[in-house]
Structure 1
Amino acid sequence: MVKTKLFKTAYLWTAAMGWWDTGADPLMPSDFRLGIAPNKHVAHPDAKRLAHELIEVTGLLEHVERLPIRPAREEHVLLVHDAKYVDRVKRESNETGGDCGDGVSPFGLGAYDLALKGVGASLQLLESVVSGKVQNGYALVHPAGHHAEPDRGRGFCMFNNGAIAAEYARKKLGLKKVAIVDLDVHHGNGAEKIFWERNDVLTISIHQDRCFPPDRGFASSRGAGKGFGYNFNIPLPPGSGTDAYLYALKTLVQPALRRYKPDIIIVPSGLDANIMDPLARQSVTADGFALITREMMNVANEVTKGRLVYLQEGGYSPQYTPICIHRIIETLANVTTLAEDPYGYIINTQYGQELEPWQRAAVDALKPHVKDI
């Protein structure tokens, strides 16, 4: 009898998600009169497509459980999104294409059906981890989701994959408590709004202070009613690198998770804190993301028996985002298929990795917030 190899890490991607149509770039529209040449939308899916190609070329694909993707149903999206919003994007997706809600998040024909694939991949990964088929996993989905609020999409996001997964875990899979630890460089405003008055989902967001949305993500925004203290914002100063992120994890995130004791941890995994990203000013390296992932695995082993669900969010450097994604999946799977950071000769000479006094102070000021969880 041939034994089937068992993997501890799942991986989900479909080439269809690389076909998301971002159209002309409304953030930086071309204008001959102003000397602005046509360019791709900054949220074009190329970075994620290239990440998958790297995973395949290095052989990492042979060390993970590749799960087929089953599209979600509308009822899943309605777990956190308003029916009027869902109806609008579905109608525009069928007729003309449209925008998720903020004027800079365009989508083309068929986008609604494509977005359901991303939601479906997120839920399939969640189910596989909860059932024990795998211990952890990475869903390389597009478009991103963590900026989507109940009644609108924004920030290149249509549906909030992480929030939907959290609600699905509670209502459909019977979990009592879920933690969302958003590592995207931009604030996780969607989950904050959705779970603002609830204590059955702990929302933690580590992000660059006042990057996007510039009026959200303040440390003083802590939830309301039963949810007070269960919305935990950790804004880091621009320029923060690997050591600042690790210090925030060890000082704030891990103690918060130990106090909360969730049944599972969902990680909206943005790679836009990387040192080469065009939409933020943080300095984390690919090897830094591996260290961050290891710390997330350590605390998951303590409080959730290792159950950890990574869902792709932002990351806008087509050169470096794939390297960062690869490092994270390698770490989850406990293998090495890429010997070294191919851009290390550039980034390892740059400023930004060591913990600075003002970064330590920003983190230390939030220690009292852990006690309210």
Structure 2
Amino acid sequence: MDNPAALRHLPRKDEGDTTMTTGFFWDERCFWHAGGNYAFTMPIGGLVQPLAAGGLPENPETKRRMKNLMEVTGLFDELDTRSAAPASREALARVHPASYLDEFKRLSDAGGGELGHAVPFARGGYELAALSAGLAIAAVDAVARGDLDNAYALSRPPGHHCLPDLPNGFCLLANVAIAIEAAQAKGLAKRVVVLDWDVHHGNGTEAIYYDRDDVLTISLHQEGNYPIDTGALADRGRGAGEGYNINLPMHAGSGHTAYLHAMDRVVIPAIEAFAPDMIIVACGYDAAIVDPLARMQATAATFAEMTKRIRDTADRVTDGKLVLVHEGGYSEAYVPFCGHATIATLAGSKIDAADPMARALHARQPSPAFDAFLRQSIDDMAQQLDL
């Protein structure tokens, strides 16, 4: 290894956390999900070389490299690592109509295809998406039952953009919603918070729970990014769900202190007021400064600090019941460090994979004047949200 000092193996757990067990749910087969030869609207052939991931920014390498980094540092060995069964048809049908599931399965068996907005899949895509949802179900189930203190599900394909009858944004099944519905059907949870810190608005999760008051959805996202027509501050829910949907559309360029200010000023007060049984984080890493699909300036340290805040909140409010489910993040070089920092913090581990870009990224954080503007904009939104 070129820089062995970058791996610092220190005492395993935080003081007082010696009994903590963090689950890590993953399956090699989830890395095999593919979109076929698909490069947006660009044809494949002639002078266009086919891409290994089919031209999609959502590819397996960000996830595989994250898991591999955890193995190299030893963090993987500190976790309770598990796989899971694919989500059953019954579990999927609590969120998705039969017509959607039937057509998805038909196309999957026939060699693959596309059902909606730029979400192609290859043969077997239905089974792999069901496995991805199954990992989320198993993680939520284990934490809700007290078998694990908290957990991380490395789900792929992701899920937070998927509507009940329409996939989009690389998402084919609504993983988090499917897991919530399974837990509620078993009587394991009644009130749940979904905190989505993926840089893109969690429009699918919002739509599923927009009329309900038993699930509080909170989305921190870059304003005007994908989807461009959802995620407004004024969208608070409807009917029984009025007030139970919170969108925080953050300005492009928001960095470390802005994200932590959003957590302290909006997210944590909203969670404490709702008093849930469990917190689930739709955990995307695409707010990172080097991500190709966004214009934010978070770092690995940002994700670690957000995780610490939400873990501390879960300890106070839900007896520690916290699950993170993987969503986006498209930098193959940097997602592994963001994920490692997040999971090490979740587990209370002292194993550190030192961020090789920390100094350079710190120097690129917003200027004091711009940062003050960003924090004031969050304060203004918090006031409009009555927080």
TM-score of the pair, normalised by structure 1:
0.93
CA positional deviation for 1:32? 7.7
Contact 2:337 2:353 in 1 (8 A): no
- Which one of the candidate residues 216, 237, 241 is aligned to 2:230? 216
In structure 2, what is the equivalent of residue 73 of structure 1? 88
Return 171-180 or 74-83, whichever deviates more: 171-180
1:276 to 290, 293, 317: 290
Q: Mapping of 1:1-373 within 5 angstroms?
A: 7-27=20-40, 29=42, 37-39=49-51, 40-102=55-117, 104-352=118-366, 356-368=371-383, 370-371=385-386
> Counterpart of 1:14 in structure 2: which amino acid?
D
Structure 1 residue 174, shift from structure 2 partner: 3.9
Distance 1:85 1:281 in 2: 34
The alpha carbon displacement at 1:189 in A equals: 0.3
The 1:25–1:345 alpha-carbon spacing in structure 2 relative to 1, beyond 3 Å, is farther
For 1:339 and 1:50, locate their aligned partners in 2 and report how far apart those are by CA, in whole Å: 13
Note closer, same or farther for the CA distance 1:13–1:353 as it changes in structure 2 (3 Å cut): farther
- Counterpart CA distance in 2 for 1:325 and 1:99 is 29
SS in 2 for 1:120: helix
**Structure 1 contact 207–235 (Cα < 8 Å) conserved:** yes
Cα distance between partner residues in 1 of 2:124 and 2:309 = 39
Q: How many residues align?
A: 366
| Structure 2 contact 37–44 (Cα < 8 Å) conserved | no
User: Matched residues in 2 for 1:31 and 1:134: separation?
Assistant: 46
* 1:240–1:353 CA contact under 8 A, matched in 2: no
- Taking the aligned partners of 1:360 and 1:27, their CA distance within structure 2 comes to 36
Superposition deviation, residue 350 in structure 1: 1.6
Q: Do the aligned partners of residues 85 and 305 (structure 1) sit closer, same or farther apart at CA in structure 2, a change above 3 Å counting? A: same
Q: Percent identity?
A: 39
Take 2:41 and 2:305, find their aligned partners in 1: how far apart are those partners? 34
Q: Residue type matched to 2:360 in 1? A: I
Q: List per-residue Cα deviations over 1:6-65 (Å, max 9, x = no partner).
A: 6521001111111111222332635788x7654342111111011111111111111111
TM-score (norm 2): 0.90
Question: Tell me, what secondary structure is at the counterpart of 1:366?
Answer: helix
Aligned-CA RMSD value: 1.9
1:100 & 1:45 partners in 2: Cα distance? 21
Unaligned runs of 5+ in 2: 1-17
Q: Secondary structure at the match of 2:95?
A: coil
Contact 1:242-1:353 at 8 Å conserved across structures: no
- 2:291 is matched by which residue type in structure 1? D
Long gaps (5+) in structure 1: none
In structure 2, distance between residues paired with 1:254 and 1:368: 15
**Is the partner of 1:348 in helix, strand or coil?**
helix
